[in-house]
Structure 1
């Protein structure tokens, strides 16, 4: 622990100490709530995402969540034979016609086939075929939100507490109104005439 009460974490081995110190100084000066490690994680994730986005061709076929860039090959096995298709421009072309993956599966094997499970994909620059359902699952896993930082978690918790307090105050105000109405009904001007008669001895 240092004088400020925070732990001194060693810089990551791949980052020179001078750069790590510069990053920590910048975060402190800018008032950022991120730790140096959190800032590095976000920077690397941003860099990877940008690299992937830049590498994606502008043309291709969007299959639900999965983007198949131009040049992607698809295949499906039925009755011991492989049937192939390819992404040309913005279309999935099978037997010279533009189709959807589901239409391809129906043309090859008839109704009742799940194209996600039946179709295998070979992306441009890849050497291994991958099942479409597995590719989609990987994509969904990668798109899961990064857990919030400590500062973000505190902000979320503070908002939840503020909302809970606001609700509690509303309930208290409602209870006070109810109590006031009950009290007013018992005041003399609201009492029935026979309630106000004096007792006769």
Structure 2
């Protein structure tokens, strides 16, 4: 990349000057051979590919607002015995049958059990079990957050672009 040549290329009209300058500085500092235009094209292509990959429906079980991907294990304890079920495809399988978390709690412990308070969850790739009620509370807290301001959204986009360029 020839810094003298790049210095004379104006930023694309849709990209603010400050962001364009930051991109040029990043490319220079990282030793990239990409021009800013090439980097932008690669970043947009990576962003589109990620969006398409994210749009592919994941298999798993939707428990109210909590999505449990396939391979998730759930358990609850009754006295000294742990009762375990697994998400297979789109179903929660407990003792060979597709059940809801409420049905699992009812079959394992009888009536009067609140599945949110009784069930622990182990997501695929995680090492620690998490209480279902805590996961639900975290989701509700995230949903209550105020949407980002345009400046915050631009910062998130710039960070994603930077990460895409570094891959």
- Indicate the TM-score class for this superposition, using the shorter chain for normalisation: 0.5 to 0.7
- 2:71 alignment counterpart: 71
Contact 1:75 1:82 (8 Å CA) reproduced:
yes
- 2:19 alignment counterpart: 22
Computed over aligned residues only, the root mean square deviation of the Cα atoms, in angstroms, reads 3.1
- 1:35 alignment counterpart: none
TM-score normalized by the length of structure 2: 0.57
Contact 1:60 1:91 (8 Å CA) reproduced:
yes
Is residue 85 of structure 1 aligned with residue 85 of structure 2? yes
Q: Deviations over 1:3-31 (max 9, x none)?
A: xxxxxxxxxxxxxxxx9822699xxxxxx
> Which structure 2 residues correspond to residues 143-182 of structure 1 after superposition, within 5 A?
143-146=143-146, 149=149
Larger radius of gyration: 1
- 2:124 alignment counterpart: 124
Cα 1:121–1:55 shift into 2, 3 Å: farther
Contact 1:57 1:70 (8 Å CA) reproduced:
no
Count of aligned pairs between the two proteins: 109
**Any unmatched runs of 5+ in structure 1?**
1-18, 26-46, 152-201
Distance 2:70 2:55 in 1: 12
Q: Deviations over 1:40-94 (max 9, x none)?
A: xxxxxxx8xx78x839861100000000010000000001110100000000000
Distance 2:103 2:145 in 1: 33
Distance 1:83 1:121 in 2: 12
Distance 1:55 1:77 in 2: 36
Q: With CA pairs under 8 Å and 6+ residues apart, which has the higher RCO, 1 or 2?
A: 2
Distance 2:142 2:77 in 1: 28
Distance 2:111 2:76 in 1: 14
Distance 1:128 1:75 in 2: 12
Cα 1:96–1:140 shift into 2, 3 Å: same
Contact 1:74 1:122 (8 Å CA) reproduced:
yes
Cα 1:123–1:20 shift into 2, 3 Å: farther
| Structure 2 SS opposite 1:126 | coil
Higher mean C-alpha displacement, 127-136 vs 142-151: 142-151
